[in-house]
Structure 1
Amino acid sequence: MSIRVQVVRAWPRRHQTVELRLEAGATVADALAASGLQLEGVGGYAVYGERADAGRVLREGDRVELLQPLLADPKQARRRRALRNKE
């Protein structure tokens, strides 16, 4: 039995989507290998917006998202904005 999944990589103002048919029991790592997408610079993975590791087993219709690495610590950025607004 096979399942359908999508693998999505997004950049500012563009994205790339690959639709795949994989064997039941396939993992995020299997989907990444089959996608043919460039994995350089990927900061992590998610399935429908929830963080996932490469060993997560996929289900029919899942969307695997390739995440960009954080450019700044969100807490530090918030503190900097608060200081700027204070001044």
Structure 2
Amino acid sequence: MPELLAIEVIYALPDKQQLVSLQLAAGSTVREAIEASGLLPKHPEIDLAKNKIGIFGKLTKPDAELRDQDRVELYRPLIADPKEVRKQRAAEGKVMKKGAGEGE
């Protein structure tokens, strides 16, 4: 009897998360887990050629081999560039500091 791996595949949306627990044969890949999860037909916005994927927060490739107890994560694209958001906040902070001292 071939060894089975206990795998979770997760896709988080802004309002909920989808978690699917699977049992796959040893030697299965990340792509096979995603396909077996049934998440692709439910979420047509997932494009494995574009969406990043990971195992426990570390980016990985679809052809990476899974280990027992792995959690495969499907990441959504970022809405805003974090570096740009930080620059905007810093610029807003400078403007607020200048305006705060004007009435003194």
Unaligned runs of 5+ in 1: none
Alignment counterpart, residue 75 of structure 2, candidates 67, 74, 77: 67
**Which protein has the bigger strand share?**
1
Tell me the CA shift for residue 12 of structure 1: 1.7
| Separation in 2, partners of 1:34, 1:28 | 10
Cα root mean square deviation, aligned? 1.2
Bigger proportion of residues as helix: 2
Shift of 1:41: 2.9
TM-score, normalised via structure 1 length: 0.92
How many residues are matched?
87
Q: Gapped runs of 5+ residues in structure 2?
A: 96-104
The reply on whether 1:76 has 2:90 as its aligned counterpart is no
Partner of 1:40: 44
Give the distance between the partners of 2:53 and 2:10, measured in 1 at CA: 10
Structure-1 residue corresponding to 2:29:
27
What is the TM-score with the length of structure 2 in the denominator? 0.78
Of structures 1 and 2, the larger Rg is shown by 2
Residue 44 of structure 1: how far off its partner (Å): 1.2
Preserved CA contact (<8 Å) 1:28 1:58: yes
1:18 Cα deviation from its structure 2 partner: 0.6
- Would you identify which runs of 4 or more consecutive aligned residues in structure 1 move more than 4 Å? none
Identity %: 39
Query: SS of the counterpart of 1:56?
Result: coil
What do the CA deviations read for 1:11-55 (whole angstroms, capped 9, x no partner)?
123111111111101111000110100353342111001111101
